Chains A and B, each alone.
Chain A
Amino acid sequence: MPKIIVEIMPKQDLLDPQGKAVANALKRAGNDIETTRIGKRIELHYKNQPTEKDLEKAKELARDFLSNSVIEDVVAVFIEEEN
C-alpha cells in the first residue's frame, strides 16, 4: 500500500525516560552503547500513490496533530516508494 512516513523524536534537550531505561538495559547486557533515544514512526496509508499535495498535507498533520512542538520534533515526512 502506498505510504507517507512521519518520523517524530522527543526534543534533544528533553529527558527521554524510555530511551534512558533501554540504554541502561543495553549497557547492563555488555553493549558498548552510551545512550538511546526512542521516537515514533507513523505510516499514513493511501489508496493511490500520494502526490506532492498529499505530502504537503501530511507535513501539516505531522506538525499540528501527530506531534506536539513543545515536546517533540518532526524529523522527517516522506513518500515511501513501493518495492
Chain B
Amino acid sequence: MKIGVITYPGSLDDRDAQRAIKLAGGTPVPLWHASDDLKNIDAVVLPGGFSYGDYLRCGAIAAQAPATKEVIKKAEKGLPVLGICNGFQVLVEAHLLPGGLIRNEKQHFVCRDQRLRVENKNTRWTGMFEQNEEITIPLKNGEGGYIADEETLKYLEGEDLIAFRYLDVNPNGSMNEIAGLTNSAGNIVGLMPHPEHAVEPGFGPDTPVATRSGIDGLRFFQSVIGQVVG
C-alpha cells in the first residue's frame, strides 16, 4: 500500500512519518507541496512541523498549496488522510475538519508523553484500536488549543466525530479535551499528538514494562493499511 507524505517548506516530521509507514508494512511515497501529482497513492499523511514558518496562521499557507488542493479533492471522494500536529492545523485551515487551533492556554510550548483515549475506532486510521482504549504517544506543540463555537462542539459530540481526547492533563487548553477529530465518513483524521514518534521499541514513550518501549502510534498506520488491503 502506497501512503504519501507531503513535505512543505518547514515540515519537520515528514521523514519520521515515512519511517512509521515503512515499519507498519506500507510503502511511503514522498510528495512535494508544489506539485499536484499525488502519484497514485492509497492514503496520505500531512506531517508535523512549521510549514511556511507558521506565517499568517499555522497551516494557513500550506492549506493553499497545490498538493493540498489535490488532497482536498480526493479526500472528499474518500482518500484516507491523516493530519498530525501541523498537519491537523492544515486540515482545519483547509476546512476538511471544523474549528481552529490557537496558542496553548498557558502560552508555553508543551512536549510530553501524552495519554489519550480513543473515542472513535470507526475511522480509517483507528480501526486497530479498541473503543475507549487508552494510549500514550508524544505531544509537542505551541498552538494546539482546539476551539470551536458551541454549535460545532455540539455537532462533534453528537455525531461522534471526536476521535481522541486528552487524559490526565489537558496540555493546551483544548475545548472538551479534544486531541483529535474525524469527519463523518471516517477517512479524515487530524490530531495534535504524534503517532509517528511511537512506532519502534527503544524510541517511544516509557511504559510500565520498559523505558521507551511504547509503540501505540504504530496502529494508526497499521489500521489504514489493514483496511485497504483487507
Contacts and interface: CB of A to CB of B under 8 A. Distances in A.
Interface of A: 14-15, 17, 21, 65-66, 68, 70-71
Given A65-B60, A71-B147, A21 B100 contact: no
Interface string B92-129: 11000001101101010000000000000000000000
B95 to A, nearest CB: 10
Interface in B57-79: 57, 60, 64
A46 B146 CA distance: 36
B63 to A, nearest CB: 9
Given A70-B148, A71-B147, A15 B64 contact: no
Given A65-B64, A70-B99, A70-B100, 8 more contacts: A15-B102, A15-B105, A17-B107, A65-B60, A68-B57, A68-B100, A71-B57, A71-B147
Contacts of B209: none
Range for the number of chain B residues in contact with chain A? 10 to 19
Residue of A65, A70, A71 contacting most chain B CB atoms (<10 Å): A70
Given A65-B60, A66-B56, A71 B100 contact: yes
Contacts of A66: 56
Contacts of B57: 68, 71
B107 A21 contact: yes
16 contacts: A14-B147, A15-B102, A15-B103, A15-B105, A17-B103, A17-B107, A65-B60, A66-B56, A68-B57, A68-B93, A68-B100, A70-B147, A70-B148, A70-B149, A71-B57, A71-B100
Contacts of B103: 15, 17
Contacts of A68: 57, 60, 93, 100
Nearest to B56: A66
Residue of B93, B99, B100 contacting most chain A CB atoms (<10 Å): B100
Contacts of B93: 68
A17 B93 CA distance: 21
Contacts of A70: 92, 99-100, 147-149
B90 to A, nearest CB: 12
Contact of A14 (B56, B99, B102): B102
Contacts of B92: 70
Contacts of A14: 102, 147
A69 B149 CA distance: 11
Contacts of B147: 14, 70-71
